[in-house]
Structure 1
Amino acid sequence: MAQTEMVQWHRQSTPLVTLDDIMGLTAHRSTLTDMDIRILEALLRYNFMTAAQASRLWEAPLRTMDHRLKRLFQWGLVNRGPLPRAGQGGRELVYALSRRGFDVLRRLENPLAVDWTDDWQPKSETGSRRLSILHELGRNEVCIAIAETAAARGKPIVDWEGSREGGQKFVSLGSSQEWHRIYPDAVLILPNMQPLFVEYERSGRDSKFQKKIRTFRTYLVSNQWQSRYPREPWVVYAVPAGTGTQGVLGGSYGGMIAQAGMMGARNYLLLDEEAWTQGTWLATRGDGSVVNFWDAIGL
């Protein structure tokens, strides 16, 4: 694999402070703040984040979030690597939780860190492919834009679950009794407890999209969602402009709309890039009709 396709991670091999210092167990000024903990928890849940995304997520000055992330790097709690800055030249740093950062969350008895103790691996060791990171950062952009607009409408998002949290294994209720798995890229919980399964599609691969439509339809039609959510989820498919990283015409926005209709997609809303970047918030249902995203989800 070409070197340019991988993100070169930087790790702090000699952290400036001890874990006892960070946890406030010694008389030391370098102690975690509530915001530091929120950043670490977000990286555990969403895998990657930039300072600009953190600034938007917590409505804090970019300089403040940049300083906090650099300090967490100096303490060895996060790893970081450079990504080309799209359309602007230069590079942007992307951050991921380190093993040491995970250990801190486990000491703090974060429920996810406790549950994932046996099999969690740093994304900087297992997920260094540039396209994979860009996919997850793009997913973040969609989720943050939805959260920002929901808050501006006076109905803030209740929670944002990462892919591992939102993953489920279920048995179809048909005669085959077949096991299925769903792993939404994210799950956003609305104030009325309606879940939005957010899928971010950069590749444009037709077969992948068709498989997801079938699996999500099976999940919804069989009412398997009732074991976890009080309301039936919407599946929100966010499609960047163009034909995707694999250049598949059928994977473009128009192609995916046609496929969703043919596959009988249930509770599907497709967003093109202008919806979340320009704030048009026009969405297309699985049947091809164009609606206002917020009216469709009842928010």
Structure 2
Amino acid sequence: MTTDVFEEHRSLLTGVAYRILGSASDAEDVVQEAWLRWSTVDPGRVDDPRAYLVTVTSRLSIDRLRSARSRRESYVGEWLPEPVSEAPDGAARAEMADSVEFALLVVLETLTPLERAVFVLREAFQFPYAEIARVIGREEAATRQLARRARDHVQERRPRFEADPAARRRITERFLGACMEGDLAGLTGLLAEDATLVGDGGGKAKAPLRVLEGASKVGRFLASLPGNADRFFASLGIASPVPWDEIRFEVTEVNGGPAAAVSFGSRVVALVVLEVVDDRVQHVYLVANPDKMSRLRTPDPS
């Protein structure tokens, strides 16, 4: 019975933890720890198992996020969220899918751990303020203030006129084609004038250590990728000459939106996610850290 109750809520708990942490591997660890705590509790003494489990998972996630941010001070280069092919909670509703979008997870990194937890519980899962207050151990009025501050912060940093999914996919396809051809003019034409590129190689794969700013600089870097492909694959342990017949470049779906994936054999080795505003690429997110690729399915070759 104890196991059945936990499994009934596992999807919800994993979804909460992933959105708070931005890391699927950390979310799995948190949910496992929540299970260990639940296994020592007498279920008959818990009036509301869902509320109890969400509280435990949220508090564990907040603590882990605080610890993770301290460790990230020594992270090599920029840190980006861990992408996933499917939402951890199998989110089907539009508002749930939006809450796991990669660009939003990047923005959530700028919140404090407490603000992020409140934002996730309220905006993604529509928990009542009174329940969120009990989760974080604050008065309801203070919780509402935290939620308002987090929501305002996110709205300030998210574009007002994002492209719809179909337009994003078309632009991602054109962007991938221009990158593969080293087409500087084509890339520059797709980029907003103040475009940025954030790379995350984690010190384990070739990626920019600092944010690139401006269409010219971002475009030149992207156009140079075909000529530097051997160096990138070498950083992943793929010896030169690169077996190009085993490498694929395709548009796939990640975190509920389109992304350009580079696959070698049966694994994704690099991922590019675009944030598109007014039909121009505003932000380019390049994830190459191999530790963050395990939750990605290789695109269907068909």
TM range (shorter): under 0.3
Q: Which has the higher contact order (CA 8 A, sep 6+)?
A: 2
- TM-score normalised per structure 1: 0.25
- TM-score normalised per structure 2: 0.24
Hey, which of these two has a bigger chunk of helix by percent? 2
